[in-house]
């Protein structure tokens, strides 16, 4: 039911965004189009990584939505050819270790060649390596910046 409404209001939102553009060109401070959270989420869910990055810079509300873990989980899953495990299994582990966005930004993005327009699918080894690095990173950060555990007993 949400979906039906979103398809009709997405067209209206696009027209409102074009009207807001016109307003911008007239140099009066116009508010960002007042999309509901659901709409924004649906739009961003289909966006690629660069768009998400740009969207996160718009406002704090947009940032909160653009950094939603579900969106980034979808980004990661789009790239992986084969998981080798159940998605819920992956989700619980990755969320516990810092989340999909961190996984993508820190350990997957560096492997993507910047020039290729086409989305390249990562192999299982790349997935496993990035997960291993995520684990190591999380472990290192446990107990404060020096990684001393229990926290508070630093050098």
Residues found near another protein in the complex (CB under 8 A): 84-86, 89-90, 92-93, 96-97, 106-107, 110-111, 123, 125-126, 128-140, 142-143, 147, 149-150, 153, 155
Question: What are the phi and psi torsion angles at 24 (to 5°)?
Answer: -60, -40
Q: How far is the CB of 73 from another protein (least distance, A)?
A: 15
CA angle, corner 3, sides to 61 and 92, nearest 5? Answer: 60
CA angle, corner 49, sides to 3 and 15, nearest 5? Answer: 45
1-12 core/surface letters (b: 16 or more CB in 10 A; e: else): eeeeebeeeeee
Which CB, 15 or 132, lies closer to another protein? 132
The tokens for 95 are 């969320």
Reference 46, options 15, 13, 16, 70; nearest CA is: 70
Which CB, 12 or 111, lies closer to another protein? 111
Which CB, 21 or 120, lies closer to another protein? 120
Q: How far is the CB of 23 from another protein (least distance, A)?
A: 41
Q: How far is the CB of 136 from another protein (least distance, A)?
A: 6
Q: How far is the CB of 150 from another protein (least distance, A)?
A: 7
Which CB, 55 or 103, lies closer to another protein? 103
Which CB, 55 or 108, lies closer to another protein? 108
Q: How far is the CB of 58 from another protein (least distance, A)?
A: 27
109-125 core/surface letters (b: 16 or more CB in 10 A; e: else): eeeeeeeeeeeeebeee
């Amino acid at each position: 039911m949400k979906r039906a409404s979103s398809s009709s209001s997405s067209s209206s939102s696009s027209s409102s965004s074009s009207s807001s553009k016109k307003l911008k060109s007239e140099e009066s401070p116009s508010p960002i189009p007042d999309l509901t959270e659901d709409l924004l989420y649906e739009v961003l869910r289909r966006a690629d990584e660069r768009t998400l990055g740009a969207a996160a810079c718009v406002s704090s509300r947009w940032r909160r939505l653009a950094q939603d873990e579900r969106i980034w989980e979808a980004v990661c899953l789009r790239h992986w050819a084969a998981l080798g495990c159940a998605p819920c299994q992956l989700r619980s582990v990755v969320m516990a270790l810092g989340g999909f966005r961190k996984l993508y930004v820190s350990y997957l993005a560096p492997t993507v060649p910047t020039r290729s327009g086409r989305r390249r699918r990562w192999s299982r080894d790349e997935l496993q390596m990035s997960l291993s690095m995520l684990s190591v990173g999380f472990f290192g950060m446990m107990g404060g910046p020096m990684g001393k555990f229990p926290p508070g007993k630093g050098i």
